[in-house]
Every structure is written in structure tokens, then in C-alpha cells.
Structure 1
Amino acid sequence: MDVRDDARDARDAQDARDAQEDARDAVRDETAVSRFVERFAAQLTEAGMQRMAARVFAQLLASDGAAMTSAELGEALRISPAAVSGAVSYLTQVNMVSREREPGSRRDRYVLHNELWYETFTRRDQVLTLWEKTLREGAASLGPDSPAGARIAETAAFFEFLQHEMLGLLDRWRAHRATLDLG
């Protein structure tokens, strides 16, 4: 009985999402949305993200529910299941999306994290900490008076500065975000 109830609940939830999507489609300009997705994906690619991962990420960002199935992503972006799979693997690995399964369904949905940018920069802070430590060790091994040692020590100091600034920036963002009327 529980399994059938879960399956019915999952179908009802999907039906409700489909109805909401149909209503939004009546006012949403899909051509403009597609242009946005491709433009933002191109900018992410220029910044170093893999092309398909950038397209999938931008499409998820532009979806009202911030979650889509592999089939939905493939259809929206006109890409193969293999391309979706590769992109989602990368995005999952770098913690930009997570994979969730709906109760009673065998389909996975790929979901953006709620505080995506905050989490991304927090993880970047962890990377900066690691880089700073390695750079300080490198500067010490080269000697602080050597040109290479001084250059590497300055780079480590920059990353230390960046980390301190980032913490304050993220705190100010959270306070500012609380004042926004984002619906």
C-alpha cells in the first residue's frame, strides 16, 4: 500500500509541476530563454567551464523549479543523453548540482543547490586555503630573497588577502540577500 501511495503522490506532484509549467509557457518567451541560456553558457565557457556543463547549468538556472530530468535537459538543449550525462557528472563532481530521485520514480532529477553561489565561493575558499599553504611552502623552499621565492610569497599573500575579503563579502551578501524581495 505504501509503495502505491508513494507512486501516486509522485505522479500527482509531477502532474502539478506539468500544469504549472504549461501555465508559465503561455507567458514565457522560450526563444528569449534559449538565447539567455546559450549566451550565459558561452560566458561560463569563456571563464573556463566545460561547454556542455555550462549549457546544462544555465538551463537548470533558467528553469523555474531549478531541477530537470536528463530527458528534459536533452530536449531543451537538443543534446544527446551522453552529452547530458557527461555534463551532469562534471557539475555533480564540482558540487554545482545534485542528483535526486523522486519517490516512486526511477528517474533522476538534477537540482541546483539553494545557495549555489554562496556554496561555490565557500568551496573556492577551501581551494584558496590549500593553494596558499602550498605557495608558502614553495616560497620557503625557494628562499624568500630569491626572485621566484618573493613572487610566490606575494601570490600566497594575495590568496590570504582574498580569503579574508571573501569571508566578509559572503557575510555582507547574506545580509543583503535577506533584504531582497525575491519572491
Structure 2
Amino acid sequence: MRGTEPMADPAPADDYDQALLRFVEQFALVLADSGLARMPARVFAYVLADDAERYTAAQLADGLRVSPAAISGAVRTLVQAGLLAREREPGSRADNYRIYDDDVWSHIIMQREPLLRRYSEVLSDGIGTLGDAPGSRRLAETLAYIDFMRAELPGIMKRWRERLAELREERSEVE
């Protein structure tokens, strides 16, 4: 703060940038609470919400107001997780990053299917080992839920793709 001087009103672009960064921080907290490290969460939230389709590490650092060093580890994590794709234009020295899949949330959910399968396998083994104990009954209900979700997932994804196509068609009509 500069003493008692009144601050100038920010330009509309500054308002948008501040709103974007507030959203990024809020959504990054949710992602971090879900297990994603904080800086990768911030980068992912920024790439998801900002207008550009592709970003260099320098653009991400500038947009998030962080050092380029903070970006390099974050994008590496996001690329390894399949959330960002890394590309390079012929003749360019800079990598570009973009959301990995045009339907990123379906991609994220479908990445969890092998984990659900593993849950089922371990739960089945546990039920077989524990027999008819009360804990085993809880395991059986958990297994039934996991198996139900796995069975429903293809139908959910099909319905989502249909809904997404409708949303995109509606958006193209407005534009």
C-alpha cells in the first residue's frame, strides 16, 4: 500500500484477471483436498478456466504470477497424470501445454476404472478370507457398490457423451 493515496480503479481486464486468479485459487484448493499437489492443482485450474487453448511454461508462470521453476514440476506431474498434454511446434524450442482430452472429466473418471477393478479384486479376496464375519458383510456391501459403479460407468459415459454433444450444439447455436 502507498500510504494514504487512493488506489486507481482497476481496468476491466484487471477485474477479469483478478476474478480468474480467485477462481483458480478456490478450485485449486478443492483439487488439492482431492489429492493433487497444490501447484499442479493451480496450473490445472488455470488451464481449465483461462481462454487460451495452449500455454508455454512462461505463459503459465506469468498468468499465475509464479516462478517458471514452480511451473516445470507442476506440468510434469500433470502430463504424467494424463491431465495435460505436452506438444511442440516444429522449429520451436518451447513446449506447449493443453488440456489432454477435449472431454477432460470423462477422461479423469475413466482413469479411475482400473483402481475400481483393483478394489473389487482385493475386496473379493478379503471376503473369501474372512468368511461370514460381520466385517465381511460390510466388505460384501462395499464390493457390491464398487461392482455396481463399474457396471454403470459405461452407460453413464455414453449418456454424458450424448449430453455433451447437446451442450456443444447449443453453444454453437448461440455463437
TM-score by length of structure 2 reads 0.81
Correspondence for 1:179 among 166, 171, 174: 166
Q: Kindly tell me: are residues 146 and 168 of structure 1, through their superposed partners in 2, closer, same or farther at Cα, counting changes over 3 Å?
A: same
Query: Which residue of structure 1 aligns with residue 9 of structure 2?
Result: none
Q: Contact (CA 8 Å) 2:54, 2:96: kept in 1 or not?
A: yes
Query: Any idea what the Cα deviations from partners look like across 1:47-99, whole Å, max 9, x if unmatched?
Result: 22211111000110122233211111111112222321221122112111111
Give the whole-Å Cα distance in 2 for the aligned partners of 1:174 and 1:27. Answer: 36
Give the whole-Å Cα distance in 1 for the aligned partners of 2:47 and 2:15. Answer: 16
* Residue 69 (1) aligns with residue 59 (2): no
Name stretches of at least 5 consecutive residues in structure 1 with no aligned partner.
Answer: 1-24
Q: What amino acid is aligned across from residue 171 of structure 2 in structure 1? A: L
Equivalent residue of 1:48, what SS?
Answer: coil
* Residue 96 (1) aligns with residue 83 (2): yes
* Residue 87 (1) aligns with residue 74 (2): yes
Q: What amino acid is aligned across from residue 50 of structure 1 in structure 2? A: A
Give the whole-Å Cα distance in 2 for the aligned partners of 1:81 and 1:65. Answer: 18
* Residue 162 (1) aligns with residue 149 (2): yes
Correspondence for 1:138 among 102, 121, 126: 126
Using the TM superposition, give the Cα deviation of residue 110 of structure 1 relative to its aligned residue in structure 2, in angstroms: 1.2
* Residue 119 (1) aligns with residue 107 (2): yes
Query: Which residue of structure 1 aligns with residue 16 of structure 2?
Result: 29
Using the TM superposition, give the Cα deviation of residue 120 of structure 1 relative to its aligned residue in structure 2, in angstroms: 0.9
* Residue 105 (1) aligns with residue 92 (2): yes
Give the whole-Å Cα distance in 2 for the aligned partners of 1:89 and 1:152. Answer: 37
Q: Kindly tell me: are residues 182 and 124 of structure 1, through their superposed partners in 2, closer, same or farther at Cα, counting changes over 3 Å?
A: farther
Using the TM superposition, give the Cα deviation of residue 166 of structure 1 relative to its aligned residue in structure 2, in angstroms: 2.4
Q: Kindly tell me: are residues 78 and 26 of structure 1, through their superposed partners in 2, closer, same or farther at Cα, counting changes over 3 Å?
A: closer
The structure, 1 or 2, with the larger RCO (C-alpha pairs under 8 Å, 6+ apart) is 1
Q: Contact (CA 8 Å) 2:29, 2:41: kept in 1 or not?
A: yes
Query: Which 4+ runs in 1 deviate beyond 4 A?
Result: 25-28
Query: Any idea what the Cα deviations from partners look like across 1:31-61, whole Å, max 9, x if unmatched?
Result: 1111111111122122222111110001101
Equivalent residue of 2:35, what SS?
Answer: coil
Q: Contact (CA 8 Å) 2:124, 2:143: kept in 1 or not?
A: yes
RMSD of aligned residue pairs (Cα, Å)? 2.0
Using the TM superposition, give the Cα deviation of residue 28 of structure 1 relative to its aligned residue in structure 2, in angstroms: 7.9
Using the TM superposition, give the Cα deviation of residue 157 of structure 1 relative to its aligned residue in structure 2, in angstroms: 1.4
Aligned length: 158
Give the whole-Å Cα distance in 2 for the aligned partners of 1:104 and 1:182. Answer: 35
Give the whole-Å Cα distance in 2 for the aligned partners of 1:27 and 1:164. Answer: 47
Give the whole-Å Cα distance in 2 for the aligned partners of 1:148 and 1:86. Answer: 42
